[in-house]
Amino acid sequence: MNTLTRFSAALLALLCPLLLAQTTPGVRFTTARPGKQFAYPRDHGSHPDFRIEWWYITGHLFTPDKSRYGFQATFFRRASEIPPDAKDAPEFSSGQLYLAHMALLDVKTGRFIHQERINRGGWDAQASEQTLDVRNGNWSLRFAGAGQPPDAMLLEGSIRSEAAFTLTLKPQKPLVIFGKDGVSRKGAEETAASHYLTWPRLAVSGSLRTGEESAAVTGSAWMDHEMSSSQLSEGQAGWDWASLQLDDGRDVMAYRMRRTDGTTDRYSTLAWISREGAVQHVAPPAFRWEVTGTWKSPASGANYPVRVRISAPDPVTGQEVSWQLEPLAENQELTGALGGVTYWEGACRVLNSDGVECGRAFLELTGHAGDLSRQLK
């Protein structure tokens, strides 16, 4: 096999698992099970015995002149089959694939830019199994180290030559573990579950360059670290997810698992996070997710429910409260140009039932540009 043919075959072997994401024949991956004893910093690192893992940061940035930005930085790891001719091409011998996304919204102009990368482990990407230290090219997320609090993180990212940022993220609340007994169920099948770790409120400071201009920025962010070997059950097409940071100091995470017939799966959930970091889950129909407006993508043709109303009983008062999520720009779609999943991930403002702004949010909409069951089941 000549070098060009071998490279083409190996590149296809690298991309196809991300396009199809089927379980590797003969390989048994770990599934999320109740009773896991988490150990840190080890469990902030990579878990290669799980098929799918991600470290996900979304947030809102502000410059001294009050310019506002929404940003996303995501590092994915996926276990895959090692190409059969890897012995002839050692650079393709790793079974770990790394995909990463960076995105930035300039709220004033509505301009949304994003970039996607894919690398096989051993090329230009890695994730430590001992601590938080993930990298894809010159994008990285790791603990900040000397001179910073123990859980402070350093995020470095860019979007081609158009933007770059270096951000320090400091937890303002304890780490949260969603679900029951350490397991976040996503569907009826026991394998449709994850270990779901979150820092729901991070203070952000650092620098942002857009074009030729640089500015100091401050703001807030949310970080998810999730590991699983299957995110969907039979009959599920995708999910709509939201993170809310409320001005009263509380936070909310909610996701609606959507069935192929358009209904809400009973394994959907909403989680209240108190000011002190205590978690209380609410299941449907006690919490409701209602679409109030849509946007059709000219790129993918997908029709995204970008305006939603979320309602749930307040654990403090016992009264139902509702929030309207309004996107800071409608076009915040990531198109998955390298074989990844096309989805909408956007910065939003939160309005209370009186129409008064009461917090910041991020909204994630998946499976609207194509059924995700082949990718994530």
Is residue 242, in this structure, part of any structural domain at all?
A: yes
Is residue 27, in this structure, part of any structural domain at all?
A: no
What pLDDT is recorded for position 91?
52
* Listed residue (253, 368, 247) closest to 303, CA to CA: 368
H helix or E strand, kind and range, residue 168? strand 163-171
What pLDDT is recorded for position 361?
98
Going by their DSSP bridges, the two strands 153-159 and 139-143 should be labelled as antiparallel
Across 33-52, average pLDDT: 95
φ, ψ of residue 42 to 5 degrees: the values are: -50, -45
Among residues of the chain, what percentage have pLDDT more than 70?
A: 86
Is residue 26, in this structure, part of any structural domain at all?
A: no
Lowest mean pLDDT among 66-75, 87-96, 170-179: 87-96
Is residue 62, in this structure, part of any structural domain at all?
A: yes
Alpha helices (H) along the chain: 3-20, 373-376
Is residue 9, in this structure, part of any structural domain at all?
A: no
Place of tokens 């002190």: 276
What pLDDT is recorded for position 357?
98
Q: In this structure, what is the dihedral angle of CA atoms 323, 310, 324, 258, given to the nearest 10 degrees? A: 160
Is residue 33, in this structure, part of any structural domain at all?
A: no
Q: How far apart are CA 62 and CA 66, in angstroms?
A: 6
Place of tokens 């499976």: 367
Is residue 29, in this structure, part of any structural domain at all?
A: no
* Listed residue (207, 100, 231, 205) closest to 153, CA to CA: 205
Q: Is the pLDDT of residue 4 over 60?
A: no
Q: Tens digit of pLDDT for each residue in 287-346? A: 999 999 999 999 999 999 999 999 999 999 999 999 999 999 999 999 976 656 899 999
How many structural domains compose the chain?
Answer: 1
What pLDDT is recorded for position 18?
40
Which one is predicted more confidently, 115 or 1?
115
Is residue 281, in this structure, part of any structural domain at all?
A: yes
H helix or E strand, kind and range, residue 258? strand 251-259
Across 204-209, average pLDDT: 98
Residue 102 lies in domain? 38-376
Q: Tens digit of pLDDT for each residue in 88-121? A: 555 555 578 999 999 999 999 999 999 999 998 8
Structure confidence at residue 5 as a pLDDT band (50, 70, 90): very low
Across 132-148, average pLDDT: 95
CATH number of the domain to which 337 belongs: 2.40.370.10
- Please provide the average confidence, as pLDDT, over all residues in the chain: 88
